[in-house]
Chain A
Amino acid sequence: MTALDSAPPPLAAPDTAAVLAALGSGERPRPQGPLAASATFGWRTLLRIKHVPEQLFDVTVFPVMLTLIFTYLFGGALAGSVEAYVQFFLPGILVQSILMITMYTGVALNTDIGKGVFDRIRSLPVWRPSALVGALLGDVVRFTLASVVVLGLGMALGLRPGGGVVGLLAAVGLLLVFAFALGWVWTYLALRLRTPQAVMGWSMMVLMPLTFGSNIFVDPATMPGWLRSVVEVNPVSHLVSAVRGLVHGGVDGADVGWVLLWAAALVAVLGPLTMRRYRARA
């Protein structure tokens, strides 16, 4: 010990004696359980938002842009007037905006894999899915923020929600449940694909037909029969119908049921698939 004590370490260098003391504590608490660990990983996602606020750009600017473009560009042509179109379209664009930004969950995860932190996380003695569940839960906060932005803008554009505050909250809640479930598609892709760009590309390829081939923009009654049948089984159509119903009052329980069923199915199928890739990922 004298050798250590006789040479005081220079500033900003590790202090061997202190390192030994830190090691000596030998305290070994019980690692967090699945729920607590997921919450901690969710907190990590929020910390990243705090440090890289740029990632909120797509959450706020993108939905605003979409809403304005569609409302003013197509509103008159599609529904006769901007005000009328906003009532129809805003719940749809809310769904579109949130679903589009879910893909950043996958992009972020793929970026993580490229860094050493992924290995560190995987070598921790905590429930393994918690890192992914936590990331998705953290992202739910981002989705909530985007929902507030879109709904606020909608109100400014003349949206009159007949369903009241309760209807709005229920609509956003249902949307978040589906967004969380859809997130597992992107985590799975993130673990399969090599680069964040590839994840983004694939996500777009899934999201574009999923959102445009739905009742978000126009009433499926105007579509050719074959397309209408596709649109009617699209889970996004059910989601949009349910959200519309909740926002304006008069929701069809079957739509809500379909959405919850789809969400459960997505998690049940893609959750285990994702975790298998997660474990095996070299």
Chain B
Amino acid sequence: MTAYVGDTVPAGDQAAGGGDVPAIEATGLVKRFGATTAVAGVDLCIPQGGVHGFLGPNGAGKTTTIRMLATLVPPDGGRARVFGHDVVTDADAVRARVSLTGQFASLDEDLTGAENLLLLARLLGYSRAAARQRTDQLLSAFGLTEAAGKQVKQYSGGMRRRVDIAASIVVRPDLVFLDEPTTGLDPRSRNQVWDVVRALVRGGTTVLLTTQYLDEADQLADRISVIDAGRVIAEGSPGQLKASVGSGTLHVRVLDPARRGTARELLERVLGVPVAEDGDPAALTARVPEAGPAARALTALEGAGIELAQFALGQPSLDEVFLALTGRPAEDAGPPAPAPPAPDPEDRR
């Protein structure tokens, strides 16, 4: 039951088209942990370049899907190809092109930041001297030169994330999996991580990012797969997802609360939709399909001599999108019906 939004092409249809092989192509991916089905048939077709967001609440199956795509867990059903290489039969080729940053920093906490990078650089084939050079270059690019000699366990959350991402690009990967890269970070560190993600994309890397933060998906992702209960329930650009909810919201506050009634009648006539009176005695809210009628409505208010203290036309938030798609808010992690507490594979560690 995947609701494709906008011009999304179902997985598989693009492969034959020549040109770029999709970064990720998956059909019917399934993963079970005992009685729990963590991933219940995920189809994906993610082109090369840009940021693809996996958006969903905790336990939706985002991490498990990523772990299957990164060859860390074999799928129980379905198949997936990364740059045309099967994740099961050709796992080595996949591993040579991807890099994974887990939900919690994928670093050796007892080692220093520099040692972590050095270790990876050596394993990935740099000579001793080249590895040291590469490590220094990355540390300085990520603003970590001063912390280089400290153990990672002494790092702040933001610093950990930065070393972690630096570790992911010791050799430039074609595809980076970032699993909740900003969970638990303060706003400033979060912005820094976002900058790095944008830099990765400009450098030609495809980024697959999971997040439970709707504004993060909105900020970074070119396309979003909304995942819930182990399935992709919608897919599209942030704009398409919002458009699928059907409307934005016009919010006005009249200068003189006594004239609110008049304003409301006028708005309803121009917009042709019900207008709600808010708790605020001067405020009115209406759902509008697009910007045009809203502009006409504001002009009409001005023509009628109703002065406004404030007006705003907002797109629906992704929160509203999630609510519209699943019938429940995104922040509500639990399934809609009360279910026995099952072991949650996403929270395993």
Contacts and interface: CB of A to CB of B under 8 A. Distances in A.
Interface string A39-55: 01101100110011000
A32 to B, nearest CB: 5
Contacts of B290: none
Contacts of B196: 14, 16, 19
Contacts, number: 153
B291 to A, nearest CB: 28
A18 B143 CA distance: 10
A13 interface: yes
Contacts of A126: 123-124
Interface string B53-82: 000000000000001001111100000000
B102 A116 contact: yes
B102 A124 contact: no
B199 A19 contact: yes
B202 interface: yes
Given A27-B171, A30-B125, A31-B125, A123 B141 contact: no
B143 A116 contact: no
A9 interface: yes
A32 B125 contact: yes
Given A18-B140, A24-B203, A123-B71, A29 B169 contact: no
Interface stretch (B19-27, B107-115, B211-219, B303-311): B107-115
B251 interface: no
A222 interface: no
Contacts of B172: 23, 25-28
Contacts of A123: 70-72, 95, 98-100
A23 B200 CA distance: 7
B67 A119 contact: yes
B107 A117 contact: yes
B203 A20 contact: yes
Interface in A94-148: 113-117, 119-120, 122-126
A114 B103 CA distance: 12
Contacts of B73: 280, 282
Given A119-B72, A122-B72, A44 B171 contact: no
Interface residues of A, number: 46
Contacts of B285: none
Given A19-B196, A29-B125, A125-B92, A117 B120 contact: no
A14 B162 contact: yes
Interface in A160-209: none
Contacts of A15: 140-143
Contacts of B142: 14-15, 19
A120 B110 CA distance: 15
A16 B195 contact: yes
Contacts of A221: none
Interface of A: 9, 11-16, 18-32, 37, 40-41, 43-44, 47-48, 51-52, 113-117, 119-120, 122-126, 279-280, 282
Interface of B: 33, 67, 70-74, 92, 95-96, 98-112, 115, 119-120, 122-127, 130, 134, 137-138, 140-144, 146-147, 151, 162, 167, 169, 171-172, 192, 195-196, 198-200, 202-205, 345, 348-349
Q: Which 3 A-B pairs have the closest CB atoms?
A: A29-B125, A23-B203, A18-B141
29 contacts: A12-B146, A12-B147, A13-B192, A14-B141, A14-B192, A14-B199, A15-B141, A15-B143, A16-B196, A16-B198, A19-B142, A19-B203, A20-B203, A22-B141, A23-B204, A29-B130, A29-B171, A31-B123, A31-B124, A31-B125, A47-B119, A115-B104, A115-B108, A116-B104, A116-B107, A125-B92, A125-B124, A126-B123, A282-B33
